[in-house]
Chains A and B, each alone.
Chain A
Amino acid sequence: MAEALIRVEQLAKEYRMGSNVVPALQGVSLEIQAGEFVAVMGPSGSGKSTFMNLLGCLDHPSGGSYWLAGQEVSRLSGDELAQVRNSKLGFVFQHFNLLARTSALDNVGLPLLYSHMPLHERRLQAERRLRQVGLADRLDHHPAQLSGGQQQRVAIARALVNNPQLVLADEPTGALDSRTSVEIMALLLQLNREGITIVLVTHEHDVANFAGRIINFRDGRVIQDHANAAADAAAMLK
């Protein structure tokens, strides 16, 4: 069997609140294969966000191990994690997190700035990704000139620009109306069909229902992990 894209073993995270130690994640073990579309669900405080932060190499685990594409990343330094995020991961956030007063093109090219790519090549790559998400005519628009759905498309293009092995989406439809949410999900599904592995966090069942696998968290543990017959977002738009 091929090496899993993600393998975590007994992954744990504790937070210190004054003298109290709050366990946020208590020994999670699972694997995610390349090409999967996984939804992570759970109520607030269930540990799903902590799990996503660890998957996204944004935080250090307190215990356990995490292999990403065969590399153990749970022991890396801050700078090495930045390097991993830059080369292997893409992020989509609930509130888009685009730079204000910066064109869509430069927003999308931002990750490449930190991999030392020359300006003209950054713009070339960014333009290619903006075309892919259907915003070829909005290259020079600033975030304030775009609708919420368009802004999230720009953010998705940014997540793709460094050819990541994994895209992590944290409530990507949380700030969008239902019609736009379905459009964004259709885009993510299409990208998944093109071979990109996606892990998304949500608390909405409708959104999770587009995924091929759903993992439920509660009190820092996985309580349910099952395959799902994915709904077809493209069909819903018709």
Chain B
Amino acid sequence: MNFAATLRIALLALRVNKMRSALTMLGIIIGVAAVIVMIAVGGGAQARVEEQIRSLGSNIIMVLSGSMTSGGARGGIGSQPTIFEDDAYAIGREIEEIQAAAPTLRGNGQVVFGNSNWSTVFYGITPDYLDVREWAVVEGRGFEPAEMNGAGKVALIGQTVARNLFGDASPIDQVIRVRKVPLTIIGVLDRKGQSMTGQDQDDILLMPISTARKRVLGAAMAKSRSVSSIMVKVRQGQDMSMADQRMRELLRQRHRLQAGQDDDFFVRNLSEILQAQEASSKVMALLLAAVASVSLLVGGIGIMNIMLVSVTERTREIGLRMAVGARGRDILTQFLVEAVTLSLIGGAIGILLGVGGAMAVAELAGWRTELSAASIVLAAGFAGAVGVFFGYYPARKASRLLPIEALRYE
């Protein structure tokens, strides 16, 4: 018996009981659609986390100004300026695992251009900062060495600042005032989007660290060499915890801390937090897919149920087919193909519904979804496997009927 003939018989049998076939398929349709939507939602969450890791810059360790204990009261992070520009240069120079260490000086204030103004965060930076954060200048240019060393009155701005002060006009070569200091905008930074804590990373203004220290932050800062934080980028492929360890040792040594004395700085390994988040989102995605697979399994049991009913109903037909020469395996193939056809048609409709559903979730709930070809192939393959697995038992039952008993069946 050739395959085309078998398929034709299967389609005919499914058409005879349209309503029943449709309801049986519904189980598979819902199962496949659920698997696809859930994988898309899980994938979307994962992609978001990965994007945050990328936007932060990979392999980042933050060193923050620590607390100093005075008279038994321990201050919080940044309560005392305890890290200095030279600490950053020493880290970059002496620890081989580290690619770059960028000291930053943080402040905030009103930025004024003409008659519009905007409150933002500004950072005094060294050229290493853009390298560490893997941040590109999309319009204009970066800082020149002369501007870095000479406290040049220049600034780079983020997309949000650019939009709020200049609208659609080009900000390049415009002069703005930050805390009354006039700075010329020389470039606009690439879009970074939201950080993992929901902050707008594009709401930012960068200037040379010397400019921030000597011109913007005021007299108290001008004499100091302290910085708000140091952003450290570990070389690709190097062990983060090893770099972390060696950096702590170096800073303790430079700050002349005795054994047993607390660190006077904080080290935050941000990508570790993100990696933990990524791992949890992976587990979440897996869990969603597992729950969806259960519905596919239930759909499969529906197929088995209906195929068993169908075999019983068509006992005389089976007997006749055997009488005119069908062998056991011809009958087995016939019912198996019927079950697989049922599940594959259901699977195909489920794929369409799942893709549509994922798009609807993205559109209506505003969740990010990530449709992957792999998940569609997986769902289709799973649907086919369900058909074979749950169709086999009824088909075998049919193939083992004895012809005379099947013919006599009322």
Contact = CB atoms under 8 A, between A and B. Distances in A.
A136 interface: no
Contacts of A58: 322-323, 403-404, 407
Interface in B318-365: 319-330
B1 A78 contact: no
Contacts of B2: 116
B94 interface: no
Interface string B309-320: 000000011011
Interface string B1-26: 11011000000100010000000000
A91 B324 contact: yes
Given A97-B407, A102-B12, A85 B323 contact: yes
B8 to A, nearest CB: 9
A100 to B, nearest CB: 8
A113 B1 CA distance: 6
Interface residues of B, number: 24
Identify the interface centre among A58, A93, A101, A110: most chain B CB within 10 Å of its CB. A58
A7 interface: no
Contacts of B325: 82-83, 85-87, 111, 114-115, 162
Contact of A79 (B319, B327, B404, B407): B327
A59 B402 CA distance: 8
A53 interface: yes
B314 to A, nearest CB: 9
B323 A78 contact: no
Contact of A78 (B12, B316, B321, B327): B327
A114 B321 CA distance: 9
B374 to A, nearest CB: 39
B317 A114 contact: no
B126 to A, nearest CB: 80
Interface residues of A, number: 27
A119 B316 CA distance: 24
**Would you call the interface of chain B mostly helix, strand, loop, or mixed?**
helix
A95 B390 CA distance: 33
Given A53-B404, A116-B2, A82 B326 contact: yes
Given A58-B404, A59-B404, A119-B5, A85 B16 contact: no
Nearest to A101: B16
A9 B327 CA distance: 27
A158 B323 CA distance: 12
Contacts of A102: 12
Given A97-B320, A110-B321, A82 B404 contact: no
Contacts of A110: 320-321, 324
Contacts of B320: 97, 99, 110
Interface in A216-234: none
B324 A86 contact: yes
Interface string B79-117: 000000000000000000000000000000000000000
Contacts of B402: 59
B1 A116 contact: yes
A58 B320 CA distance: 11
Contacts of B16: 100-101
A87 B325 CA distance: 8
A101 B320 CA distance: 15
Interface of B: 1-2, 4-5, 12, 16, 316-317, 319-330, 402-404, 407
Given A82-B328, A114-B325, 19 more contacts: A58-B322, A58-B407, A59-B402, A59-B403, A79-B328, A79-B329, A82-B325, A83-B325, A85-B324, A86-B325, A91-B324, A93-B407, A97-B316, A97-B323, A100-B16, A101-B12, A110-B320, A113-B1, A114-B330
